[in-house]
Amino acid sequence: MDGLAENSTASLFDLKGKTALITGATGRLGKEISTALAEMGANLALVARTEEHLTHLKDHLERQTGVKILTVMADVHHEKVIREVFHRVQEVYGGLDILVNNVTGNAKESVENMTEASWNTALEKIAGSMFLCCQQAQKLMARQHQGSIINISSIYGVVAADQRIYGDSGLNSSVAYGTGKAAVIQLTRYLAAYWADQNIRVNCITPGGVEDTTNEHPEFRQNYEARVPMQRMMRREEIRGAICYLASQASSYVTGHNLVLDGGFTLV
């Protein structure tokens, strides 16, 4: 076949020898993201706020995959902390190939009752921290003239939250959350164009509602799934394929893209 190796397509997804940094690494999607990248051979830098959760995930993935894993306990919502995290990754691994921005935030108040402080805090946690992590990632990736940045957004950065879905469940998706997630998508596009000449690709993944113990309320689940053409919520492991695609050479000509994983929610 013109000299191509038999496994040439499979090799596009191979991440052996690559270094990936994942923020929010121990969350419901963070665990799946970390597992997927480790199983494809990447060495990991796992960043989260709770040492116990980091240690448990590190031990599990080391036993399962044998890749090298660095854990960093940090709250990546402050510029000084973020600089220290990336400096640590540089010290241990000598560079960075993949960044997955998986931090988030929300606010509990309604539109009418939201305070300036809640608004600003939510936007800083969602879009602000992602921007600062992208800044630091670029400094490392530019040295090797390549890299992949993946930002995690939400369907509520694409469409408005339908308040009828929530009913009396007590769940909410605030105006600050939706605004912040929309900003993540635009941040992705801007940086993709801005850093394209450095061969730094910047893409986004937009999940729909993910199955979790926090959203098991029967009224909410019934209302939400009725809106989805595939008639179910996203299973958390369904993010793995998208992550591996955007992190690897399988997507070498893809940048500025928003990959939506929502079962068709935003189509109708």
Residues 268, 252: Cα–Cα separation, whole Å: 31
Q: Report strand pairing: 19-23 vs 43-48.
A: parallel
Domain-embedded: residue 5: no
Domain-embedded: residue 51: yes
Residue 130, H or E segment = helix 129-144
Domain-embedded: residue 108: yes
Residues 119, 98: Cα–Cα separation, whole Å: 30
Tell me the residue type at 133.
C
Residues 61, 67: Cα–Cα separation, whole Å: 8
Q: What are the Cα distances from residue 172, in Å, to 146, 193, 232, 235?
A: 39, 34, 19, 20
Q: What are the Cα distances from residue 256, in Å, to 65, 101, 131, 186, 201?
A: 31, 15, 15, 9, 7
Domain-embedded: residue 220: yes
Residues 264, 30: Cα–Cα separation, whole Å: 23
Query: What does the pLDDT read at residue 4?
Result: 47
Query: What does the pLDDT read at residue 25?
Result: 98
Residues 151, 149: Cα–Cα separation, whole Å: 7
Q: What are the Cα distances from residue 86, in Å, to 1, 43, 49, 202, 266?
A: 43, 15, 15, 18, 35
Do 70 and 62 contact (CB within 8 A), yes or no?
no
For the chain, residues with pLDDT lower than 50 are 1-4
Domain-embedded: residue 4: no
Query: What does the pLDDT read at residue 1?
Result: 41
Domain-embedded: residue 3: no
Query: What does the pLDDT read at residue 7?
Result: 63
Give, as one character, the DSSP assignment of residue 131.
Answer: H
Domain span at residue 18 reads 10-263
Domain-embedded: residue 94: yes
CATH of the domain at 76: 3.40.50.720
Residues 33, 211: Cα–Cα separation, whole Å: 16
Query: What does the pLDDT read at residue 6?
Result: 55
Query: What does the pLDDT read at residue 3?
Result: 45
Domain-embedded: residue 268: no
Q: How many domains does the chain have?
A: 1
Q: What are the Cα distances from residue 148, in Å, to 89, 145, 254?
A: 16, 11, 10
pTM listed for this prediction: 0.95
